[in-house]
Structure 1
């Protein structure tokens, strides 16, 4: 007999470092206004921009639900993943042949996300449901993915578009998965938030973007297309702003626009957070200035372990100077290298350098070579 899900334990969050991601700004795009991944990253010190790219509404398309249920019943099922009590009840109501559905479920291993979902199954006459200690749908999929799902037929009741990423990962591991969606998607209420994140992307004012599901990703990029922002967004994603997709379906959406994203080995919060952390930390610029360790982050400077917040323009100038320590950059060079300073005059650049010096007062960061430009004081 296969081990019960509860035997697998749960994956706890790694030990937290509240300053690990300080100075970085990460956008998290999904179907929720605030995703657990955003909280996970924030606890490590990141500044978060949360965007609801699409809304998941628990009002299933009854005709689609009946069709997928019929497909589900065509062949015996090994495992059934049940994400919510409301989803279970919606599935039972929409079933074209409730007795046949119950018979199929009785012969399968039932994996319930939490106690309420298990109670809904018992109310329908199904008394043998397993769950994980963490009581989350993610942990059910983690259990299946780590216990050789190849060759098994799995029915998955989906509450959100995010769960489709889990199903696709099971398929990539050899499982035959039938999706039972008990939700529909609608456009987000917060159009201002969508506009804002696109503006931040196009101006290179984010250090990474997390794309959590394919529907939200497609909607954001379609909105960018409709409002003439897609070229500017695509020019920054991947090349200058790491794009991290939780799973292969969202990644495929970005590839349609010639953006090559990174994906974690498994489509879960911990793995996605770890990949985001590596992505932003790997892009930080590290140099030694006056015998002291300097690290340039998205909107801050780390000097011998002490964090100094720095405005966008000054930190981008410092990044350009630190990329080639000691090299003299003219005002024209800085205009070419720093997107936000493309159209400013030499005086504005001089003022930006002055703000940089004030932001990090413990060190003479930048030397001015009169009438020639600026260089890092290595």
Structure 2
């Protein structure tokens, strides 16, 4: 990167110090990046106009490393900064507003994420959708925030939203299609939230965030913990608000067919639940009621369920954990500002992070309950 590119990058970003390094917020791209202490040192030096050669000398003196290591650190940091500078800038979406005349009075209302969703569909389609949203049904009143119409064709259903076709699906795929609608159309409308790939559960008064990409066992953990009395909030996406409260996207856990028999040990009711096709795989939505109020999260766990040589929970470095958590941030909304980064870091400073490596979900549950019990004395 040349000097002009660095100047542009520094104009488009803000730097926020944190123990062990710092966080860079790219305002135009609405992306967050964590830097370790050496990278943060280089960032601030370049921002102040120092050249790489001078920074190598400064790193040697400040961190007590030899010239080769200092040169490597500067080179790696500049390479990482290029990634930040090259990040794609997403266009700011215009929020669609429906006219009262467009909505009509037909359909069933569901309340989630502080919004009323009205779905106008046939009786059998609504019955299927209730496997996903049934716990959020409300009596119709007034004009909804969002309205969709699902029309039945010979073999398929069409989801109409804001005068457009949002999606077309066969009948066994319409419920996952509505799940996609919630994530793509409703979550972005929640102002001043960060959205993460994470399950959210609560043990007593302690909120626990399970941060991991899809396929990491979040739904399995959510199912076994809910069977042991934990309060379920979400198995796939969690939202952090400006008041540092965490809310889940309150959809039921999605259980894949190869996991039915395992989950049925803890939730026998899964046997009687209808099956759907989600991204080419057979799934069921576990009938567990999600809570929608905010939780105070002070523990973040990165699960790695599967065959594990060393089972148990391991505390991990906070900055490394923050880097991992930010990589799982899937949405930064319009209205997110530098002050919201400060709020995020205030939450981070009082949070503890752990990795979970347990082959047996029941063992994981016991280890997590011990962790929460110990956390009350922190």
> TM-score normalised by the shorter chain: which range applies?
under 0.3
TM-score, normalised by the number of residues in structure 2: 0.22
**Quick check: which has more Rg, 1 or 2?**
1
Q: Relative to total residues, which structure has the larger strand share, 1 or 2?
A: 2
